[in-house]
Amino acid sequence: MRVIRGLLVLAGVGFGLWGLWLMRGFTGAQLTSTGVWLAGGVVLHDFIVAPIIVLVGVAAARLLPGHFRSATALAFLLWATLTVVFIPVLSGQGGKPDNMTILGRPYFLSWVVLTLVLAGFAVAASLRRRRHRAESVTASVD
């Protein structure tokens, strides 16, 4: 496990250094914009996304049956992460009225489909897990 962690750390440091290398020609305004973007990600995560996920997790732990919890938690984590990635296109940032090919797809519909697929995953995984447990209990009784 230490070797895998070490390789992941080396890969992360390598990608970070590559990113810094690519930024070597940035202007002061671009560096400021990048810093604001990075700080905004931390603020968004620490003060908005993380508390919401904790609250949803607490509510799910109280409301959902045990066999639904882990699959629902995974589906929600994926949904929340991908929703944060979708925010720029869902809000229309980067679109240009004179060029309809930029942000010219139905991104909101894509996000809704993603939501439905992850909800379906959570239900299917939970039902499969419940059925697997019932089969193992029946097999152990026989």
pLDDT digits (tens, 9 = 90+) for 77-125: 888 888 888 888 888 777 777 777 777 788 889 889 988 998 898 888 8
pLDDT of residue 139: 58
Residue 5 and residue 17: Cα distance in Å, rounded?
Answer: 18
Is 76 or 67 the better-scoring residue by pLDDT? 76
Residue 124 and residue 104: Cα distance in Å, rounded?
Answer: 33
Query: What Cα–Cα distance (Å) separates residue 55 from each residue in 21, 51, 59, 99?
Result: 40, 6, 6, 41
For the chain, what are the domain ranges?
A: 64-141
Burial of 7 (0-12, 13-18, 19+ CB in 10 A): exposed
Residue 47 and residue 20: Cα distance in Å, rounded?
Answer: 27
pLDDT of residue 32: 94
Average pLDDT value for the chain: 84
